[in-house]
Amino acid sequence: MLDYWVRLYRRYNLPVTQVIILLKETSVVVPNFFEVEQTRHSYRVVRMWEQDPETLLQDTALLPLASLCRTSEPNGLLSRVAEQVANIETTAQKGQITACTEILAGLRFDDNLIKQLFKEDVMQESVVYQRILREGLQQGLEQGLRTSISDALQNRFGSVPENLTEQLALLTPEILQQLNRQAWTCQTLEEFMSQLPRS
């Protein structure tokens, strides 16, 4: 925190107020200062589970955080947040706020309850949701290619080099696709291994 403060102050020569926001309840004590010898640097620590949700419920931009606030009835609070989100008139904004709210609510609530309270078709219009979906599909594709390569080599040659998994994890989807074809057509395991990019 001190390092960030110094960098910002050096660059902009303006006062810097620092805040750490803890989203998920924890018993870990997070100090609100750093101190060593003659240096003491203070900053604010906000624990969302200790905050009153009422102010956040009044501000559309802060609705995603409201579900993490202090309450004796968590499910009721999430229901109120969902109602506020449903009242957002702009479709694009509603999609963004829905996506952010669902992501943060996932730190505290069961997925079935979240699905029950929020309309998925609205969230799907969110660029955040679409990015998460794209990244998930990309990771699934890459994992599928790695598995296919390993299976092909295992079936054809009876073994897979021990470090192959680590090597494949570093490669791009394009290279994995080439290697997948190579795994099914190469004549020997050594021929396949010679196709791996050298680090």
pTM reported for the whole predicted model: 0.60
Helix (H) / strand (E) element for 46: namely strand 44-47
Helix (H) / strand (E) element for 165: namely helix 164-169
Residue pair 145/173 in contact (Cβ under 8 Å)? The answer is yes
Query: Can you tell me whether residue 133 is helix, strand or coil?
Result: helix
How many C-beta neighbours within 10 Å does residue 69 have? 22
Residue extents of the structural domains in the chain: 2-47, 51-125, 130-195
Query: Can you tell me whether residue 161 is helix, strand or coil?
Result: coil
> Could you list the pLDDT tens digit for every one of the 199 residues in the chain?
999 999 999 999 999 999 999 999 999 999 999 999 999 999 999 999 999 999 999 999 999 999 999 999 999 999 999 999 999 988 888 888 888 899 899 999 998 899 889 876 555 665 666 777 778 778 888 888 888 898 888 888 888 887 888 888 888 888 898 898 888 888 888 888 888 887 5
CA gap 144, 48 in Å, rounded = 39
Locate 20 and state its tokens.
Answer: 């750490």
